[in-house]
Amino acid sequence: ARTSFPGRRLLKGIIDLPVVIPHPVAGIALILFLGRRSPLGGPLANLGLEFVSHVPGIIAAMLFVSAPILVSGAREAFAAVDPHFERVARSLGDPPWTAFRRITLPLAGRGVLAASVLAWARSVSEFGAIVVITYNPKVASVYLFDRFTSFGLSAAIPAAVILLLVALAVFTLVWFLDQRELR
């Protein structure tokens, strides 16, 4: 967060790209990069790691759409830590990694945790990229869509309620932990 290097703005743009592209386009891009006929996906498939219509495809789609949230949140959390604290620890004899682990990481921890929860929530709610790269096995959002399109609203309501309850439980847990932290 504090280091400047050539290509930093380009890297930030690449990391943020999934935020601005339509998610079905992200699914198609993942197929082009990770499908059996791609330069990357072919060798990975030969090693037994297949993405299209397999669980690793779900994971790749979830990571693709949620990584910008985690990276941006973590970057902001680390940028908010006063570098003076780390310099003081280093002046007292801590090596750079120890100063980071003992000072910077704990101070940025809440922000990183919040970014992680938001990224998880975003990945769990992903539909567009997942339905393109891996319709089966079904994740919750695809299952809900399938129930709705195949059987109508009444068949989709139970799954929607369960997903809503899970989201509320996670939100409540994060709120509770945040309140406990403030005391």
Summarised one tens digit per residue, pLDDT across range 139-149 is 999 999 999 99
pLDDT given at position 181: 56
Residue-range domain boundaries for the chain: 8-137, 138-183
Percent of the chain clearing pLDDT 70 (strictly above): 96
Instruction: Copy the structure tokens of residue 147.
Output: 């129930």
CB contact burial 140-164 (16+ within 10 A = b; e otherwise): bbbebbbbbeeeeeeebeebeeebe
List of residues 6+ apart from 117 with CB closer than 8 A = 170, 174
Q: What class does CATH assign to 8-137? A: mainly alpha
Residue with tokens 């504090």, as numbered in its chain? 2
CA-nearest of 76, 35, 172, 60 to 123 is 60
Cα distances (Å, whole numbers) of residue 8 to 4, 68, 110, 160, 173 = 7, 15, 25, 41, 35
Q: How confident is the model at residue 52 (pLDDT cuts 50, 70, 90)?
A: very high
Q: What is the DSSP string of 75-91?
A: HHHHHTS-HHHHHHHHH
CA-nearest of 112, 5, 37 to 69 is 112
Rounded mean pLDDT of 15-44?
A: 93
pTM over 0.85? The answer is no
Contact (CB, 8 A) for 79 and 63: no
Contact (CB, 8 A) for 109 and 125: no
CA-nearest of 15, 9, 142, 139 to 68 is 15
Work out the angle at residue 182's Cα, subtended by the Cα atoms of residues 104 and 110, and round it to the nearest 5 degrees.
Answer: 35
pLDDT, greater one: 183 or 127 = 127
Contact (CB, 8 A) for 142 and 127: yes
pLDDT given at position 171: 81
pLDDT given at position 180: 63
Instruction: Copy the structure tokens of residue 4.
Output: 């400047």
